[in-house]
């Protein structure tokens, strides 16, 4: 069975970062939508996507 593909917004924040890491640990394919990719401290297994929803 293929892993879930999930996009997390706010993944560089406190709650979003924990959610993204928990999803990754559960086997999901995680992408994170971030405004400033340079400030991202996410694991390299999480694909960082530059964008802004405002």
Tens-of-pLDDT digits for all 54 residues of the chain? 467 999 999 999 999 999 999 999 999 999 999 999 888 889 999 999 999 998
Q: What is the dihedral of CA 35, 22, 5, 2, to 10 degrees?
A: 160
What number of CA atoms fall less than 13 Å from residue 9's CA on the CB side? 4
pTM above 0.75, yes or no: yes
Range of the domain at 32: 5-50
Distance CA 20, CA 25 (A): 9
Q: How many helices (H) and strands (E) does the chain have?
A: 1, 3
Count of domains for the chain: 1
Structural tokens at position 3: 């892993």
């Amino acid at each position: 069975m293929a892993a879930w593909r999930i996009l997390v917004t706010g993944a560089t924040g406190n709650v979003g970062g924990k959610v993204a890491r928990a999803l990754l640990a559960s086997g999901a394919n995680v992408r994170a939508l971030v405004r400033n990719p340079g400030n991202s401290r996410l694991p390299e297994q999480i694909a960082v996507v530059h964008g802004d929803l405002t």
